[in-house]
Amino acid sequence: MSSTLLIRRTLADRRTSLMWWAIGLALYVGMILAIWPVVKDNEEFATLAESYPEGLQALFGGEEAFAAFTTPAGYLNTYLFTMFLPFILISLATAMASALLAGDEESGLLELVLSYPVTRTSAVVQKTASMVIALVAMGVLTDALIYGVGKIIDLDIGLGKLIAATVGTILIAGFSGQLSFAAGAVKGNKGFALGVGFGVALIGYLFSVVASVAPSLKWVQWASPFYYGTADDPLTNGMPAQYLVLVGGWALAFGATVALLRRHDIS
C-alpha cells in the first residue's frame, strides 16, 4: 500500500466537511476584520473593555490584552488568538482524530485497513498527517485573510508574527487531537476519544484563566497547553522558545498512540 494512500483517502473522504469548516472559519475571521475599522483608535472601546470584571477579562487574554484592545495585536489576541481560534481548531482536530481511529474501529473500517500491507505505525503516521494538513490549511486560510484584508483596513500585523501566533494555535490543537488519537488507541470508542482530547484542552484553558486571576494558583499555568501556545504574545514578540514544550508533548502523545495501538486488540 502507498505510504500516502491513507492520507489521500482520508482528505478526499472529508473534503466536504473540511470545506464547511473553512467557510465557517473564514466567515468568523471576516466578521472580526469587518469590525476593526470601528474599533481602531477609538478609546471608548478600550475604556469599556477595561471596565469588565477581572474574571471576564481573563477569559479573553487578561488585563494586558484589554489594555491594548485598540491596537492590531491586542484586538486580534482578544477576539481570535487567545480563545476563539484555538478552540475552533481544537474542535476540528479532536473531531478528526476521534473519527479517524476510534470511529474507524467502531465502524469496522480500521480492521479492514490493517488487513492490507500497512503497519499500525504507518496507519498512525498517515492519520496524524491528515489531521496536520487540515490544521495547517485552516491556519494558512486565517493568515491569508488577516494579512490580505489587513493591508486594506489598516490592521498592521507583520506576516512573521502572524504566522508565529498561528503556529502556536496549531500546536495547541494538534496536541489535543493527538490525545484523542491516543485515547482511541486505548478504547475504540469515538465519544471517549473526543472527550479526552477536548476535555484536556478545556481544562488547560481553565487552568490558564485561574492562573491569571489567582496569583496563589499561578503555578497551574504550567499544566496548560494554552500557556505554552499563547502566554508570550507571539503576535507582538514572535515565535517563542516555549513552543518546544508543545512540540515535545505532541511527540510524546504520538509515541503513546503508536505504542497503545500496537497492543490494542482490534476485533
Q: Is 73 a member of any domain? A: no
Range of the domain at 134: 5-40+86-263
Q: Residue 32: pLDDT band by 50, 70, 90 thresholds? A: very high
The C-alpha cell of 265 is what?
486488540
In a domain, 132, yes or no: yes
- 98 in a domain, yes or no? yes
Q: How many helices (H) and strands (E) does the chain have?
A: 15, 0
**45 within domain boundaries:** no
Mean predicted confidence (pLDDT) in 24-47 = 84
Residues 194-207: tens digit of each pLDDT: 999 999 999 999 99
Cα end-to-end span (Å), the chain: 22
Question: Looking at the domain assignment, is residue 19 inside a domain?
Answer: yes
Examine residue 173 and state whether it is found in any structural domain, yes or no: yes
Quick one: 27 exposed, middle or buried, by C-beta within 10 A (0-12, 13-18, 19+)? exposed
- For residue 184, what is its C-alpha cell? 482511541
Rounded Cα distance between 6 and 19, Å, is 19
pLDDT in tens, 128-168: 999 999 999 999 999 999 999 999 999 989 999 999 999 99
On whether residue 63 sits in a domain, the answer given is no
- What is the C-alpha separation between 215 and 212, in angstroms, rounded? 7
> Is residue 78 situated within a structural domain?
no
Q: Which helix (H) or strand (E) holds 50?
A: helix 43-50
As for how many domains the chain has, the answer is 1
pLDDT digits (tens, 9 = 90+) for 84-122: 999 999 999 999 999 999 998 888 888 887 777 778 899
Q: What is the total residue count of the chain?
A: 267
Residue type, 163: I
Write the CB contacts of 13 (distance below 8 Å, at least 6 apart in sequence): none
